[in-house]
Amino acid sequence: MIYTGITALDEMIGGGVPRGKRVLFSLAPGVEGQQFMFSALKCAHRMGKRCLVIVPHTSAEAFLADLSATPYGMEADERLIFLDSLAFEEIEANSRTPEAECAAWKEQIDTICRSGPINAIFLYCNRLCDEIGTEHALALFFGRSLKEGATLFVEYLNLYDEGHLDDLTASCLFDLVLSIGEGYGNILFFNHFMVRHVTWTSLPPRQIPYMIREDSSVAPQIPKIVVTGPTDAGKTTFIQTVSENWVSSDRIGISGSATTVAMDFGHPLVSCRGFDITLVGTPGQEHFGPIITHLLTNATGVIFVVDGTRTESLSRGLDILGTVRRMGIPFVVAVNKREMPGQISDATLRTLLRLSERTPLYHLSALNREEAMGVIDALIMLITRETFLE
């Protein structure tokens, strides 16, 4: 198995890319997404794999120099074998027909493979596809991948549209197709990736936003998880427990305890399964209904917190949960105060909140960070790996 080096993506696909599989990174024009290929190459090299890198658009020296100031920097050694722009131009100059070019490329690859086994192939394919055709270019390396058991990674700049990518996916036997595009909903400063096709696990096709950090590494995002529920359920405590820093709008309520009157905000970002996550907490009082609806807009997921000892608060909880359902937002239910006496049974909770058996209940103390992070982990799994059915 070869890791992509992007923890969130590796978690989604079951740990990494199994040996001998064929991966396509399809980039939309203008998107900053080359880091996906860089990261996989860096991981393969660090794992001791012998890597063949085909870069027809640049020299090996320039390629490595560009990576030197990033987290993906590597030193040239015997495990990095390049066919670069110099090889491309030599083959092009000495070949009269596309068929002759294909034969020359095959001979070059065969010569390299005779010197030792290749574990991974990294192909930047656009210039080669333009020269000999996409089908012939990919066939050169698909055959080698099948014959040698080498894992194949292809970066392709898709200058056409999604239909073209669908056609390419259908005509070629890729095991993993990852499309990388600009924007995420109405959040323009994010890019996104989507697992469009994978053969060794089951994943729904779902856009995952990401940012590029200052050091050029990929930072997958869950940009807005809303923590909501009835008053005094423990929403603010939950956010405070999992966040390194947080901003609260608590005021003393009629019960004598602090209650949120606007929103809570967890920042810096909470990290879970390789994602940077922003948490937003809502008030629970009925008269804040319009604010809650506004805060739920564009939410990636919801953690619905209830007090597991007070049935009287659940009618208000049902109203909020109805809004979440109408907006179609994935949610998990966190039953707080499990350490206290007088626990409501799961059957009663399901009845009062109209929850199906498919919706798990996560019992926790919002003061316990491990338990609270377990709830976030469950929601991340629902958002990224499961089909939401509630």
Could you tell me which residues are beta bridge partners of residue 226? 280, 302
Which residue has better confidence, 260 or 72? 72
Phi, psi angle pair for 268, to nearest 5°: -65, 175
Q: Is the pLDDT of residue 12 over 90?
A: yes
CA 267, distance to chain mean position in Å, is 20
Pick the CATH number of 7-212 from 3.40.50.1000, 2.60.40.10, 3.20.20.70, 3.40.50.300: 3.40.50.300
pLDDT recorded at residue 146: 67
Closest CA to 226 of 154, 314, 332: 332
- pLDDT tens digits, residue range 271-324? 899 999 999 988 756 555 678 888 999 899 999 999 999 888 888 788 889 999
Tokens 């070629």 -> residue: 172
69 class by beta-carbon count within 10 Å (0-12 exposed, 13-18 middle, 19+ buried): exposed
The two domains 7-212 and 222-385 share their CATH topology (first three levels equal): yes
Q: Is the pLDDT of residue 76 over 50?
A: yes
Distance, CA of 298 to CA of 197 (rounded, Å)? 25
pTM, two decimal places? 0.86
Distance, CA of 370 to CA of 378 (rounded, Å)? 12
- Two tokens, residue 58: 């640049």
Q: Is the pLDDT of residue 141 over 90?
A: no
User: The domain 222-385 belongs to what CATH superfamily?
Assistant: P-loop containing nucleotide triphosphate hydrolases (3.40.50.300)
pLDDT recorded at residue 246: 54
DSSP letter at 2 equals B
The DSSP annotation for 273-305 comes to: TTEEEEEEE---SGGGHHHHHHHHTT-SEEEEE
- For residue 204, is the peptide bond before it cis, meaning its omega torsion is within 30 degrees of 0? no
Cβ atoms of 321 and 304 closer than 8 Å: yes
Q: Is the pLDDT of residue 389 over 60?
A: no
191 class by beta-carbon count within 10 Å (0-12 exposed, 13-18 middle, 19+ buried): buried
Q: Which of 3-7, 19-23, 57-61, 107-111 has the lowest mean pLDDT?
A: 107-111
- pLDDT tens digits, residue range 206-247? 889 999 999 999 999 998 999 999 988 899 999 999 986 555
Amino acid in the structure at residue 254:
I
- Two tokens, residue 220: 């997958």
CA 99, distance to chain mean position in Å, is 40
Q: Where are the domains of the chain?
A: 7-212, 222-385
Q: Give alpha helix (H) positions in 95-209.
A: 98-114, 126-132, 134-148, 162-171
Q: Is the pLDDT of residue 267 over 60?
A: no
- Two tokens, residue 269: 């970002």
Q: Which of 50-59, 111-120, 180-189 has the lowest mean pLDDT?
A: 180-189
Cβ atoms of 316 and 345 closer than 8 Å: no
Q: Is the pLDDT of residue 268 over 80?
A: no
Q: What's the sign of the alpha-carbon dihedral 135, 141, 147, 152?
A: negative
DSSP, collapsed to helix, strand or coil, labels residue 185 as: coil
pLDDT recorded at residue 261: 46
DSSP letter at 263 equals -
- Two tokens, residue 145: 């991948």
- pLDDT tens digits, residue range 111-140? 998 888 999 999 999 888 888 888 888 888
